[in-house]
Each structure stands twice: as structure tokens, then as C-alpha cells.
A and B are shown apart, each in its own frame.
Chain A
């Protein structure tokens, strides 16, 4: 009996393992990915990185230009996340289980948030490129829409988690909808909501680089420019400044999160 059980377990794991192997071999042939080339290129890349990919000499002359674009990218990310948070709060209140006005509006807002979230930020960027061209607004709206979709879902889950008992208790005392929302639900969840917004800002800075490369604006464009000119010293300076600013913002938001608790 015991041997049978262990045998079954082993066969089960073997079957899962085989399925995974088949899937990965299939994927490799689909994408023309070769393990040999992969292993060969990693040491090559490391060697190249240490040899070429560091800021040096005249690349520091480009620092003011880089910092200017970095500032623009940071401001776009923050503005997109903050404005999206306002819209997301409204949609989350409409869509949440405990604060919904009626089922139709709840389903509608959930559906809208779902569509917005599942279309990747790169698609938004490419579509918005048609109407806004290479201006900051393309990046801003692409990040705004993506932030909106994500934040609506996050806010909805937070409100559902935090407020269900309180809302029920207040409803029993005869409090009306607005006092439940503004006196209980929002004050109780505000620190978590801000924590989500801070997370979104971090995500947006990374996404802004991608959007910049696609649409030709902000720091992503600057990286792309240096990269295509094979000016690797300058492009490594761009990467370095991005890394520093992302780590800095992570530290600030961790500090703020601790202070808000």
C-alpha cells in the first residue's frame, strides 16, 4: 500500500516533468532558441559588459541632457500614477462588492478596468503614437491608461478586504452611502491605497523606458539614440542614472510606507 502510494507520487511527478520538457522543447523550436547559443552568449555578454558598458570619459558631458530627460520621465510616471489613482478610486468604489451602487454599474466598471489592464502598455503606446506623435503626452497617456487598469483592480481588492465588516455595521446604524464611503471606507484604506500608488510609480518608471523606446520620447529615446550610435559609455550612464533613481524611489516609498502605518 505504502509502496503503491510512493510509486503513484513518483509517476505523477514524472508525468508533470515530461509535460514540462515537451512544452519547453516545443517552445524552443517555435522561437528558434538554442540552449547552446544561450550558454555561449552569457560569458560573452559579461565580458563585453565589463569591457565596454561603463560610463567613461566624454560620456559625462552628456549628463545634464540625461538628467533633464530623467526628470521628465520621473514626472510623467508620477503624474500618470496620481491622476490614474483618482479615476481608479472612483471606478473601484463603483465596482467593489461592498460599495457598489448597483450591479449594472459594478459589472460595467469591472469590465472597463479588465479591458484596460489586459491591453499591454506597449500596445497603448503604439496606438497613442498615431494621435500624439513624439510628445510627452503619448507616454503620459499610455502610462495613465495602464496605471488606471492596474490600480482599479488593486483598489477594489483593498476596499473589499478592509471595509466589509465596518460597512455592514455602519449600514445597520442607518448611515447613508456617502458617510459610509467618506467616513469609513476611505479613511480605513487610505494608507494601503497610497502604498499601491507608490508601487505604481516604480512600475511606471520602468515602463516609461519601454514606452520611450517605442515612441521616441523621454529617457528611453535617449538610451535608444546612444545605443544605436553604439555610444555604449553614454548609454550605460543612462542605465546607471535610471537604476539609481529607481532604487532611490524604492527607498523613499518604503520609508513612507513605514511612516504611514
Chain B
């Protein structure tokens, strides 16, 4: 017997309008979901626009990718030195590491002072905002431009490289340090103030010792970044070290085999540094 729709709905809910006409909404469209959708849409549109407007210069995409894979095969499977010996390469690697060390140390010393004044619980809000804004402005200029700007008056070389690279280290570490100072329990500072401790005593006896471990861990993370940066500065801004050799191999000698050796050396050091910073991070957290 065929029961028509009207009759069925009368049967089920006593003559009221039939319910469940459409799918139940599982998730409501809240503001945050809308923001996520819009962001993803914007990124997708910009990506497509980017691909349409790129300056391709008649490069064949597929051919290029295939030849890149072939180049990688050469780099990773047949590394061979040509213009310098292994000991020279390791010496240059040490030069690059030294650049990283110097930059990190200078950055850490300056950032320690800036970080104390940028922490809202240790200084007033005005000073903190000024320092934070200043630091954000420094970070907006890419490192390589800082190095090149300083190179005009200091000459291309390690001095310009270290000064220019220190800018970003200072900026990064100031932010990290001030955030770890702000984590300190407000009660500790209040208790010490109540005892009549001076500001310097609070900083040296309470703030620094309790955040020392996280300071060390942040500094080492920055050192890891600075190693990569100093490789890049060697290549792009005449800072010397292994990056410069790599740039010469790529731009002048067209020697992929030697680039392979350099890539392996850099990869080993970078992985070692990452492993060490992971160990330090775990030790600090526990």
C-alpha cells in the first residue's frame, strides 16, 4: 500500500511540518572557521596568480626538473674535490662556524640587555614597546641587505658580515629572552621587592638564574640558524668560508662534483648542530 508523503509525516509527527528536510549542519560557520576558509582561499588564489605571472624565460618545466634530478644524482653520488683539498675545505668550514660563533656571542650579549628592558615584568610598558618595535623593524630588513649595507663603509669581509648578521641575532634573541623573562612567576619578584631588594639584585639573583636554562637553549638554536646564515652570507655577501667556495663552484667553475663535497660537509655539520640543540632542549625541559 502506497502512503503518500503527507500521510507519512502525519503518522510520524502528528501533522506538523516534516522535519529533517535538509542535511543537519554538523559544524556551524563561526568567525574562526570563516577566517580559516578565507585565508586558505586567498592563499590558493595568490598561488594561482603567481604561477600565471611568473617570469618563465622559456624554461621548460619538465626538462628543468629532470635535469635537476640528474644534477642531484651527480652531487650526492659522485662528490669529488677539484680546486682545493679536503683539509682546506674543512678549514673553510671552520671559518664559517667561527662566523656563526662570533655573531651568536655578540647577539647574545646585546640581546641580554635589550631582553631585560623588553620584558614587561622588569621594565615599564613604554620602554618594552619601544624596544619590541625597534627589534621588529630590524628584523624586517633581510640579513643579506644588512651585510651589504655595512660592507659599503667597512669593506666586504668578516667585519661587515659579523655586524650585519648580528642584527638579526639581536632581534631574534631579544624576543626569545624577553619572553622567557616574562614567564617568571610575578610572586617571586613581588616577594623580593617586599624584602627591599634592588632592581639589579632581582635581575641578577632571581630572573637570570631561573631562566638561564631556557636562555642557553634559545642561544644554541640561534647558533644553529647562524651557521646556515653564514654559509649563505659567504655565498652572497663575500663573508668568506665554505659558502664562498660553493658560490665559485656554482657560478664560475660549474663543478657539481665539488659542490657535492661541500653539500655533504654542510649537511653533516647542520645535522650535528640540530642533534645537539635537540639534546640541550630536552635536557632543559626535563
Whether the Cβ atoms of A209 and B144 lie closer than 8 Å is yes
- Interface residue A6 (Cβ < 8 Å from any Cβ of B): no
* Docked CA distance A79–B145 (Å): 23
A226 to chain B, nearest CB (A): 11
List chain A residues, Cβ under 8 A from B53. 72, 75
Whether the Cβ atoms of A137 and B140 lie closer than 8 Å is no
- Interface residue B82 (Cβ < 8 Å from any Cβ of A): no
Whether the Cβ atoms of B54 and A136 lie closer than 8 Å is yes
Identify the stretch in B174-182, B193-201, B242-250 within 8 Å (CB) of chain A at 4 or more residues.
Answer: B242-250
| A residues 121-139 touching B (CB-CB < 8 Å) | 121-123, 126-137
Who on chain B is nearest to A209 by CB? B142
- Interface residue B184 (Cβ < 8 Å from any Cβ of A): no
* Docked CA distance A72–B236 (Å): 21
List chain A residues, Cβ under 8 A from B247. 126, 214
Identify the stretch in A29-37, A56-64, A90-98, A161-169 within 8 Å (CB) of chain B at 4 or more residues.
Answer: A29-37
Which interface residue of B159, B231, B274 has the most chain A CB atoms within 10 A?
Answer: B159
B34 to chain A, nearest CB (A): 8
Interface SS, B side: helix
- Interface residue A41 (Cβ < 8 Å from any Cβ of B): yes
| B residues 128-158 touching A (CB-CB < 8 Å) | 136-137, 140-145, 148-150, 152-154, 157-158
- Interface residue A155 (Cβ < 8 Å from any Cβ of B): no
Whether the Cβ atoms of A72 and B54 lie closer than 8 Å is yes
Whether the Cβ atoms of B55 and A131 lie closer than 8 Å is no
List chain A residues, Cβ under 8 A from B36. 190-191, 194, 260
List chain A residues, Cβ under 8 A from B99. 27, 31
- Interface residue A99 (Cβ < 8 Å from any Cβ of B): no
Report the contact-size class of chain A (Cβ under 8 Å from the partner): 35 or more
Cβ contact of B232, chosen from A34, A120, A128, A129, cutoff 8 A: A120
Whether the Cβ atoms of B101 and A132 lie closer than 8 Å is no
Whether the Cβ atoms of A41 and B163 lie closer than 8 Å is yes
* Docked CA distance A83–B50 (Å): 11
- Interface residue B124 (Cβ < 8 Å from any Cβ of A): no
Whether the Cβ atoms of B68 and A136 lie closer than 8 Å is no
* New A-B contacts (17) at CB < 8 Å, excluding given A24-B105, A121-B232, A131-B63: A23-B101, A31-B99, A38-B159, A82-B43, A120-B228, A126-B246, A127-B75, A130-B71, A130-B250, A136-B57, A137-B59, A190-B36, A205-B142, A207-B142, A210-B142, A247-B137, A250-B136
Interface residues of B (CB under 8 A from A): 31-32, 35-36, 39-40, 43-44, 46-47, 49-51, 53-57, 59, 61, 63-65, 67-68, 71-72, 75, 94-95, 97-99, 101-102, 105, 136-137, 140-145, 148-150, 152-154, 157-160, 162-163, 228, 231-232, 235-237, 240-241, 243, 246-247, 249-251, 254, 256, 259, 263, 266-267, 270-271, 274
Interface residues of A (CB under 8 A from B): 20, 23-24, 26-28, 30-34, 37-38, 41-42, 44-45, 47-49, 53, 72, 75-76, 78-79, 81-83, 114-115, 118-123, 126-137, 140-141, 190-191, 194, 197-198, 205-207, 209-210, 213-214, 217, 220, 223, 227, 232, 239, 242-243, 246-247, 250, 256, 259-261
A-B contact list, 16 entries, CB within 8 Å: A24-B105, A31-B162, A42-B163, A75-B49, A82-B43, A118-B270, A119-B267, A119-B270, A127-B75, A130-B256, A134-B57, A137-B61, A205-B142, A206-B142, A209-B144, A220-B144
